[in-house]
Amino acid sequence: MLKKGVAIIIGSTLVAFAINFFIITNHLLDGGIIGIGLLAKYIFGVKPGLTIIILSIPLYFIAYFYKRIYFYNGIHGLLISSFLIDLFQPVSHWNPEGGPILVGAIIGGILIGTGVGIMLLNDISTGGSELLALIISNITSINAGLLIFFIDCLVLLIGFFYIPPVTIFYSACMVLTIGLTTSTLIRNFQIKKLE
């Protein structure tokens, strides 16, 4: 339990810092529910963490009745990471210009991918699209990773109507970096575990 608690704090802190320091300042867009939370911030000026929690409520309601392990493994990660995303909002003032957008996309992607990877290695998720993908995957036998990728692409496609195409390109680079970082971290950890 202590190990999971530490993983949630470290993983959520990395995600929250990256979103506020690199992603929001460069007006980048992530995939999944976090991406929708960022879109809501850019369009309506609402808090992304709160939006993520509100949008995730129906998914957690379904998970509670469908497979409770998904509910229990995700609820803490969702609440803490969403809370920290909003709590770390002042961090965006440290980097008001955002810096070079490609650098922000790559470093932000590495930090988010590391944070998500740390949580996934401890059977914790930040909820949202991961939870939806797990449920659909169990029902249809479609690969959960493929479903997450599809959901991320769908959010980027929606963002195309609100964000300049060049920013969508850099956002896609960031989403790819997140995926590569997460999968590399998990793969390397699992290899070391087997040795």
- Is the alpha carbon torsion for 183, 84, 78, 11 positive or negative? positive
What is the pLDDT at residue 195? 59
Alpha carbon 66 to its chain centroid, in Å, reads 23
Q: Which of 97-101, 115-119, 145-149, 155-159 is the least confident region?
A: 145-149
Percent pLDDT > 90 in the chain is: 51
Confidence bin at 193 (pLDDT 50/70/90): low
Q: Look up residue 24 and give its amino acid.
A: I
The tokens of 117 are what?
Answer: 């990877």
What whole-number distance in Å separates Cα of residue 182 and Cα of residue 162? 28
pLDDT at 140 over 80: yes
Per-residue pLDDT, 95? 83
Mean pLDDT value across residues 37-52: 94
In the block, residue with structure tokens 């692409």: 153
* Interval 112-135: pLDDT, tens: 999 988 988 887 777 677 788 878
In the chain, which ranges are continuous DSSP H helix?
2-18, 32-44, 48-66, 68-87, 101-121, 129-140, 144-159, 165-194
Q: Is the pLDDT of residue 142 over 70?
A: yes
CA distances (Å), origin 4, targets 62, 69, 101, 108, 125 = 23, 14, 33, 23, 11
Higher pLDDT, 127 or 172: 172
What is the residue-averaged pLDDT of the chain? 88
Contact of 49 with 143, CB cutoff 8 Å? no
Q: Where residue 69 falls among pLDDT bands split at 50, 70, 90?
A: confident
Mean pLDDT of 83-102: 90
Token digits for 161? 């109507």
Q: Which amino acid is at 43?
A: I
Query: Does the pLDDT value for residue 6 go beyond 80?
Result: yes
pLDDT at 191: 66
DSSP state of 163: S
Residue 49, pLDDT above cutoff 90: yes
pTM for the predicted model, two decimal places: 0.89
